[in-house]
Amino acid sequence: MATARERLERMGVSVPEIYLPGSGVEYRKWAVVACDQYSSEREYWDDVDREVGSAPSTLRLIFPECYLEDSDKETRIAKIQESMAEYLARTYLVSRGEAFVLVERSTPFEEHLRLGLMVAVDLERYRYGADSKSLIRPTEGTIVERLPPRMAIRRGAPLELPHIMVLIDDPQKTVIEPLYRKRQYFERAYDFDLMKNSGHVRGWFVRGEGDLEGVAAALEALADPDAFRRKYGEDDVLLFAVGDGNHSLATAKAIWEETKASYAGRPDAESTLASHPARYALVELVNLYDEGLPFHPIHRVLFNIDGQDFLGAVQRAGAEVRYTQDATQAFAEVDAASARDATENGRGGPSQHDASSGASEHRFAFVTEHRAGIISFHAPAARLAVATIQQQIDAYRKTHPEVGIDYIHGTTSTEALGKKRGNLGLYLPPVDKSSFFSVVVHDGVMPRKTFSMGEASEKRFYIEARRIVKE
């Protein structure tokens, strides 16, 4: 009979050796938010730097993306790798043994807690191409030009610190939630407030054979080919969909391919690579149906644009344009229509976001310096509303290269920026989580900036680490 670990391996999951801060390290200063957040707000990261000071911190082990265009990139990368080695040597980071880590996260924006499970996923079961049919798949297109600086950091680094969040389609809550109900029996890993009013996080080690068997059995049920075929009508099982950190996981995959190539022709290649630590990546599994996991639309603002000309272009593409009293009314109409569609879908009617039946209408609000209104596409070809509007934006910018674009979180910012002279704001409808896996299964990767799993401060903070080189 196969052991729990062998069963997990078949599901593309390994029990990682977890490294956490050693004695005397202050967790509040140790943990910082994902490096791809606040990428246009250097003041945020400068403030974090002041708060951390000389204390051991993951800030010294990551590369905030707001600094990627600076001239000291190579120096910064070298310093990151030096700091990793130093932190290990000085026991700022120590091994806590092999375990999953059950994570509980609270944030200032959500009423419910968000649960997660830290695991290592097998990069042999992941492919990031647009037509990927692997067990682990991306959810947005990978821009290969964004990988080299990330690869330079990982290449030769002794450690990885993940901000990757991977989603599982578990409406019956069979994988993570049973562990959380018995959390009082697990060894506590950490429990602390996050910096900059970002909430609180607690973690517990999950090591018991029975608990690992429970996770293995639940994942096996989710990955059952017959059940998957009945649900989605497809044979290639999607078990893990990357929610946050698509490019980080693609980076890990690219370095793993380099590592395999370096062993070519060696007699010990097969045995060494089978258990090489670079074959795996540390991620946090999160249930798509977790009540503490929000899906927010990401709105668009176009700059240096003639708003009336753009509206004329979408009308020529088949859209209906209708003006409203103001942006508040337009935004409210889009939200109300989406809520109405979701209710109808619950009764069996078509939904604006229903990936299996196709959408009857996609609606967006727009706001310019003097006008606001609704853009409606009836019987659109795309399954997702964001794909419909992004196609229009991309087509327009091809003939108007002077037009810029930014991706905006929140109603207030979208309206304020859209009202500025020469701008046009586009307000997108809410995102329906229930169609998420179906879209990835049937259509592949989604358009870039389709959704956000919470606000910037709700993203994953770096806490755990894992070795990715052989000792």
Q: pLDDT digits over 352-410, tens only?
A: 333 333 458 999 999 999 999 999 999 998 888 998 999 999 999 999 999 999 888 77
| CA dist., res. 425 & res. 371, Å (int) | 11
428 vs 450: CA distance, rounded Å? 10
Q: Please state, for a pLDDT cut of 90, what percent of the chain lies above it.
A: 80
Per the listing, tokens 């729990």 go with 4
Q: In CATH, which of 3.10.20.30, 3.30.1760.10, 3.40.140.10, 3.20.20.70 is domain 296-452?
A: 3.30.1760.10
Express each pLDDT in 129-148 by its tens digit: 878 999 999 998 778 888 99
Instruction: Find, among 152, 428, 135, 437, the residue nearest to 297 by Cα.
Output: 428
Return the sign of the alpha-carbon dihedral for residues 116, 122, 124, 125: negative
pLDDT at residue number 441: 92
Helix ranges restricted to H, 194-285: 209-222, 225-232, 246-262, 269-274
Look over the chain and give the mean of its residue pLDDT values, rounded to a whole number. 93
The arithmetic mean of pLDDT across residues 175-204, rounded, is 98
What integer pLDDT is reported at residue 346 of this predicted model?
A: 53
Quick one: tokens of 91? 């026991």
C-alpha pair distances (Å), 40 with each of 37, 43, 196, 417: 8, 9, 17, 15
Q: Are strands 424-427 and 372-378 parallel, antiparallel or unpaired?
A: unpaired
> What pLDDT was estimated at residue 359?
57
Is residue 313 pLDDT above 70, yes or no?
A: yes
Angle 187-62-79 (CA atoms, 0-180°, nearest 5)? 120
Q: Where in the sequence of the chain do the CATH 3.30.1760.10 domains occur? A: 296-452
112-121, 243-252, 260-269, 354-363: the lowest-pLDDT one: 354-363
Angle between helices 225-232 and 436-443 (to 10 degrees): 90
The mean-pLDDT minimum among 182-196, 223-237, 420-434 falls in 420-434
Spatial neighbors of 154 by CB under 8 A, at least 6 apart, are: 160, 251, 252, 255, 468
| pLDDT value of position 41 | 84
Quickly state the pLDDT bin for 126 (edges 50, 70, 90).
Answer: very high
Q: In whole angstroms, what separates CA 335 from the centre of its chain?
A: 24
pLDDT one-digit tens code per residue, 72-109: 999 999 999 999 999 999 999 999 999 999 999 999 99
Closest residue by Cα to residue 14 from 128, 139, 137, 125:
125
What is the pLDDT, as a whole number, of residue 275?
Answer: 92
Can you tell me the mean pLDDT for 208-227? 98
Query: Quick one: pLDDT at residue 193?
Result: 98
What pLDDT digit, counting tens, does each position of 153-166 carry? 999 899 999 999 99
The answer to whether the beta carbons of residues 297 and 451 sit under 8 Å apart is yes
